[in-house]
Amino acid sequence: MRTSFVIAASALAALALVPKTARAQAVAEGFSVNRFEPSERGSDWFTNESLDLRGSLRPAVGVVGDYQYRPLVIYRNDEAYRSVVRNQLNLHAGASVVLFERLRLGATLPVVAFTDGHAGTVGGTFYPSPPKEQAIGDLRLGADVRLLGTYGDPFTVALGAQVWLPTGDKDQYTTDGKVRVGPRAMVAGDVGIFAYSARVGFLYRGREAAFDGGQVGSEITFGAAAGARVLDKKLLLGPELAASSVAVNGGFFEKRSTPVEALLGAHYKVGSFQVGAGAGTGFSRGFGSPEVRVLASLEFFPEVVLDSDGDGVPDKEDACPSVKGERTADPKTNGCPPPPPPPPDRDRDGILDHDDACPDVPGIPTGDPKTHGCPPPQDRDQDGILDKDDACPDQKGLASTDPTFHGCPDTDGDGVFDKVDACPAEPGLKTSDPKTNGCPDPDRDKDGIPNAADACPDEPGPADTDPKKNGCPKAAVKGGQIVILDQVKFKTSSADILPGKDSEDILQAVLKVMKDHPEIKKVRVEGHTDNRGQAAFNKKLSADRAASVVKWLVKNGVDKARLTSAGFGPDKPLADNETEDGRYKNRRVEFHIEP
């Protein structure tokens, strides 16, 4: 009895020493802190929906590991003072099922595997740290319905709603203790390798509270994601954004009431399985916006096997995906209906017996009921012209409206029959002179220089006393260059183009090529010198000369964007610099066509 009295008295004395403010301090009830809400199982994103609502009774199961650092912090003088929830590892176990190619039902249960923190006081309210023990969060139930588009389309739209049942533990900061309801609208799509998703919604929270200058209550929610599908679209890489803002008590877009979080994630599909990994951070001091978040996921979601015609052959293997058929080993007929049996054709000449005037003898189609399917009349040279009409019955020939040549050959195919062709083995022109009828044109390029004397018989060019240049154009496109017949001439040791016919003719020819070939988008004008003199001087001289040529072409109507210039001095000789002829050849300007 005496001992009990001593203990009670000691307790009363200790209580008397506690300041009144401490004895009046309120202990806060916990609320749902974690802002990470995983997408329904079967999505290609962590927090956003890819809206793959295909299939009937198509299940998806999986788990998302979610580590967050400092999601609930008390600040003093803009510095973190207490991390009420410091470290937390959650496992979000989820399952969903797609019904009727349009409706998806889902459920997710978060499990706290580990948590710790430091208690703190703010605004006269004491926030205890969470117990270091496992716990569950609020069970989430959801339903989404696809309105427009389908998975993989550029634009898919869905509406849905989620309900959180208060199965969590306030002491662990995993529940508000009240039902939460969140309707939402979602869009998603693919454009080539680009994929995106976005959502907006409203989250009704039956509980409202204040914490460290901010509000807890009903919220407007947002989300977006964008990325690229690579590796045959098995890997999706891209960032995601999740944000919300309290819509009550003036908290809308207030810093402490508007958590914003971003993460960079990757998801890889292996058959019906998908693994994911990601990391991110919070950009605001809103509740549940951690300094660091790390995510990992594993899920099973059966691939959709499309069989549009229901014949048991998947569309990707079905050669006739819209018509019910049979499976075959031939990819060209697999999934196609079997061909009908052919009607009778006894002589197998391709003409059915009921149309064949000679059903037991292979024949040819004629269109005449009396001869259709019968052997053709005699044609000794087998040129399709009957002997009775063939002017050359023993030589395979061509049809002609002139009976004199009907069925006669034209060996060189120039339209002049061999009978009257003075050059039957060489394609030529028809003339009134029997000596030249059917012979090649003596001046093919029509430049006034006979082929025999023309160094370029297929390209028109001016006459030249040099047999190697006679009849050749001053400039022409060859082998990735505009090749010039002569060199542009400059004043000695100068970039000034020498006036006169020679340089003018060459540059005019290059100008004509540039104008005649608009498909040439870029030409690099190169200047080159021999090796006499100082290398640095020669290199600058060659660059200046190339630039002078560019300037001339631009002045005469060539778009400057189509031209560049470069000087190489003596670095790229064409000939031996030890001879005068070699040095002459090395002093040159070249026009290189760039791709």
Q: Which helix (H) or strand (E) holds 185?
A: strand 180-191
Full pLDDT tens readout for the chain, 595 residues: 333 333 333 333 333 433 433 444 688 788 888 989 999 999 999 999 999 999 889 999 999 999 999 988 888 877 788 888 999 999 999 999 999 999 999 999 999 999 999 988 887 888 898 998 999 999 999 999 999 999 999 999 999 999 999 999 998 889 999 999 999 999 999 999 999 999 999 999 988 877 766 778 899 999 999 999 999 999 999 999 999 999 887 768 787 788 999 999 999 999 999 999 999 999 887 778 899 999 999 999 998 877 888 888 888 888 899 899 899 999 999 989 998 887 888 888 888 888 888 998 898 898 888 889 888 778 888 888 888 888 898 888 888 888 888 889 988 888 888 888 878 888 877 878 787 787 776 767 777 787 777 778 878 878 878 888 887 888 889 889 999 988 899 998 899 999 878 788 899 989 999 999 999 999 999 999 999 999 999 999 999 999 999 999 999 999 999 999 999 999 999 999 999 999 989 999 999 999 8
Mind giving me the DSSP string for 380-397?
A: TT-SSS-TTT-SSTTS--
Bridge partners of 192, per DSSP, are none
Q: CB-based burial of residue 449 (10 Å sphere; 0-12 exposed, 13-18 middle, 19+ buried)?
A: buried
Side-chain-facing half-sphere of 495: CA atoms under 13 Å: 21
> Which residues are registered as beta bridge partners of 215?
210
Q: What is the DSSP string of 484-538?
A: ESS---B-TTS-PBPPSHHHHHHHHHHHHHHHH-TT---EEEEEE--S-S-HHHH
Strand residue runs (E) in 256-399: 260-270, 273-282, 292-300
CB 54 within 8 Å of CB 151? yes
Alpha helices in 18-64 (DSSP H): 20-23
Strands 58-76 and 292-300: antiparallel
3-state secondary structure (DSSP) of residue 568: coil
Q: Contact at 8 Å (CB) between 68 and 293? A: yes
User: Does the CA dihedral 584-587-593-595 come out positive or negative?
Assistant: positive
Contacting residues for 369 by C-beta, under 8 A, at least 6 apart: 357
Which structural domains are found in the chain, ordered by start?
19-300 (2.40.160.40), 475-593 (3.30.1330.60)
Provide the 8-state DSSP code for 172.
Answer: G
Give the side-chain half-sphere CA count within 13 A for 392.
18
188, 51 contact by CB (below 8 A): yes
267 φ/ψ angles, rounded to the nearest 5 degrees: -130, 135
The count of C-alpha atoms lying within 13 angstroms of the C-alpha of 275, restricted to the half-sphere facing its C-beta, is 1
